[in-house]
A and B are shown apart, each in its own frame.
Chain A
């Protein structure tokens, strides 16, 4: 009797099939995945980031946790402030660059290459600690010039198609480009799991996709242009809430 009851009631609810169908959807599926931590594949990276947080990257290097302690407390609200102007560098740094700075200066490790799974995992883990908090990147004082630079890039026509970011992502939000809905340019969910990528990626990767699409030469992940654009987008919308790790079609 015991055996039969255990076997009795089993059925499969959902297997995600293919990327094409979902990639063209309205994003409701992605939203449902994001809303459930047990269904959000980005948590594979978050879990990896949590492991990395506690691991010493080299024999005489400290782990993140050795200085920062529990990320739930020390990293709370941190990613909501990024990209952030660094007084000593006199330029803004994005979160992934800040993590790399910590790695090279405090852990004496080689920097993580952009888009490296570990780099994404750490950014996702740190970003998660700010989930639900309002984005508060600050564009006052000396950083105003970078905010302005980002705005100028956002509104500059580029590439063979001669399009600016603003033309689509401000003025045509909700319209269709091919089969896809044009989203507003929001950076509060990065790094994101994209169904189209079948994996997780940074803002720099998303930007690269868009720039190749308009046949422009993409801004490199470390370029000041990428950081200025990210800074502008983070700082211009104060009432946006951090969603990391977000799922997007």
Chain B
């Protein structure tokens, strides 16, 4: 599961910084059928979690009505230099995690 993650490299302490992520995923609803009428099984991202400095700062539960390649944008409050870890998993058990460091002045 590829993803595009965008966070600022630096932030000032006490300032809100934006975290953006696009996850490459078909988000197949499970309500569609293929050309011969066979149901296409559901295949969606179930969960996205973001940790900053070891604390959970964001969690989303995803459902079938969300489009393919879902995009999230949210904010966290800069406190000190440390890792921003994004992890997500889909209903077939695939998991991914990416970590980036933000330096806080």
Contacts and interface: CB of A to CB of B under 8 A. Distances in A.
A21 to B, nearest CB: 10
Nearest to B20: A38
A177 interface: no
Contact of A6 (B20, B70, B73, B76): B76
B67 A43 contact: no
Contact of B56 (A7, A8, A9): A7
Given A2-B79, A3-B55, A7-B57, A12 B2 contact: no
B93 to A, nearest CB: 22
Interface in B78-99: 79-80
Interface string B14-44: 1010001010101100000000000000000
A5 B77 contact: yes
A14 B71 CA distance: 7
Contacts of A15: 60, 66, 70-72
A56 interface: no
A16 B66 contact: yes
Nearest to B64: A18
A13 B70 contact: no
**Number of contact residues on A: which range applies?**
20 to 34
B74 A47 contact: no
Given A7-B55, A41-B22, A48-B2, A16 B71 contact: yes
**Number of contact residues on B: which range applies?**
20 to 34
A152 to B, nearest CB: 34
A116 B21 CA distance: 24
Contacts of A13: 73-75
Contact of A12 (B6, B14, B24, B74): B74
A6 B51 CA distance: 9
Contacts of B66: 15-18
A18 B65 contact: yes
Interface in A1-52: 2-3, 5-19, 33, 38-39, 41, 43-44, 47-48
Nearest to B24: A44
A132 interface: no
Most buried by A among B14, B20, B57, B69: B69
Contacts of A41: 4, 22, 24, 69, 71
B11 to A, nearest CB: 12
A228 interface: no
Contact of B76 (A9, A17, A38, A43): A9
Contact of A43 (B14, B22, B53, B79): B22
Given A3-B53, A33-B71, 4 more contacts: A10-B58, A11-B74, A12-B74, A38-B6
Interface of B: 2-4, 6, 14, 16, 20, 22, 24, 26-27, 52-53, 55-58, 60, 65-77, 79-80
